[in-house]
Amino acid sequence: MSSNDEEMDLKERLDLMQKMIAEGRRKQESWGWTFVLWGIAYYIAFFWAWLGNFVYAWPITMLAAGILTFIGFARPRRRSPETTMGRAIASIWIATGSSMFILFDAMGFGMHLADARVFFAAASAMIGLANAACSLTLRWKAEFICAIVWWAAAVIACFGNLVTAIAAFLAAIFLCQIVFGAYMMVLESRQRRQVASHA
Amino acid sequence: MPELPELNPVIHGKLRLALLSLLAGVEEAEFTWLRAKTGSTDGNLGAQLMKLEEAGYVAVEKKFVQRKPQTIYRMTDGGREALQEYVQALKQLLGAAI
């Protein structure tokens, strides 16, 4: 083998490695549906609480949404490998969800949620935190816009009246859960089609 | 003139290199996923993975999920180190060739 052939062979090896590492890191998980599911769950909980069951509406709906999310991820399908990035994102949401569940249940049952604006402000800020952490991890600007929307809803809940706080919270759910979730689903479906066409 | 490094022959094989590179990007991967990504046959893939396992570069775990056998591979610390050394050696050789 001439030195030129050898060099070509080494470059080929380097290209192969780059291609395979990129292939392995290609986004495998589907998250869009969870955004839509939780958006719907927030609406159900909100309107159920509005009908008069403020103490139980949120914990029961959140628990049901958590179970549905678990079932959705655990359902039998062709297993795609877990990436460190995927585990990081899942950890952010599990930690945020658990904190919210514990905090708001304790506040609700301890009768410290007399002013619903406190709940809207704290919930919006925590969801904003999770979105920001994910966007910084994924280096994804679109999700950071969601974080800003949630933080804005938190600030509005602190300074506005109850009606304004509710309007901001419902708008944030619509934009950052339903619309953003649907947008993610479209992106994921496109990505899956691309992978299938390259397979 | 500095001595040129030798490339690790276990890693240098194209399919083995592809497998280690794939495993470098994920926590763990199933045999079927590795087969789909490399486009290799079952026999060849199994043989190359066994070589990597014998060298201590990958760890294998066999289990049953819903009564179906599943073979999971993950890269070991030794494998990661060996791949890094291989990349360094490759870059050095390419640098010397230019």
Is A32 within 8 Å of A188 (Cβ atoms)?
yes
The pLDDT of residue B32 = 87
Q: What angle do CA A171, A177, A182 make, to 5 degrees?
A: 120
Chain B residue numbers with beta carbons less than 8 Å from the beta carbon of A199 are: 36
Rounded (5°) CA angle A14-A20-A25: 130
Place of tokens 């029961």: A60
For chain B (98 residues), the mean pLDDT of every run of 10, in chain order, is: 76 92 87 88 94 95 82 93 91 74
3-class SS of residue A101: helix
Reported as a single tens digit per residue, the pLDDT across A158-199 is 999 999 999 999 999 999 999 999 999 998 888 766 655 544
Which portions of chain A are predicted below pLDDT 70? Answer: 1-4, 25-29, 75-80, 192-199
Name the residue facing B94 among A11, A80, A87 (closest C-beta): A11
Residue B60 in tokens: 């294998």
Q: What is the pLDDT of residue A58?
A: 87
User: Which tokens go with A97?
Assistant: 């969800």
Q: Given CB atoms, is B23 within the 8 Å cutoff of chain A?
A: yes
Helix (H) or strand (E) holding B87: helix B77-97
- Residue A174: φ, ψ to 5°: -60, -50
Nearest to A21 among B12, B24, B27 (CB): B24
Give the gap in angstroms from C-alpha A26 to the nearest C-alpha of chain B.
9
Q: Around Cβ A38, how many Cβ atoms within 10 Å?
A: 23
| B32:A78 CB<8 A | yes
Determine how many CB atoms are found less than 10 A away from the CB of residue A183: 13
A80 to B28: CB separation less than 8 angstroms, yes or no? no
Question: For residue range A132-148, what is the model confidence (pLDDT) as tens digits?
Answer: 999 999 889 999 999 99
Distance CA A122, CA A117 (A): 8
Per-residue pLDDT tens digits for B43-68: 999 999 999 999 999 999 998 877 77
pLDDT value of residue A7: 75
Q: Which pLDDT belongs to residue A199?
A: 45
**DSSP labels for B8-53?**
-HHHHSHHHHHHHHHHHTSS-EEHHHHHHHHT--HHHHHHHHHHHH
Query: What's the Cα-to-Cα distance from B3 to each of A13, A115, B58, B86, B89, rounded to whole Å?
Result: 21, 74, 30, 16, 11
Query: Do B51 and B10 touch, CB atoms closer than 8 A?
Result: yes
Closest in A6, A16, A79 to B17, CB measured: A16
Domain regions of chain B by residue span: 9-92
State in words which class domain B9-92 has. mainly alpha
Q: Note whether ipTM > 0.85 here.
A: no
Bridge partners of B72, per DSSP, are B30, B61
Please tell me the distance from the alpha carbon of residue A68 to that of residue A113, in angstroms, as a whole number: 27
Judge whether B70 is closer than 8 Å to chain A, CB to CB.
yes
Among partner residues B17, B33, B70, which is closest to A80 by beta-carbon distance? B33
Rounded Cα distance between A120 and A126, Å, is 10
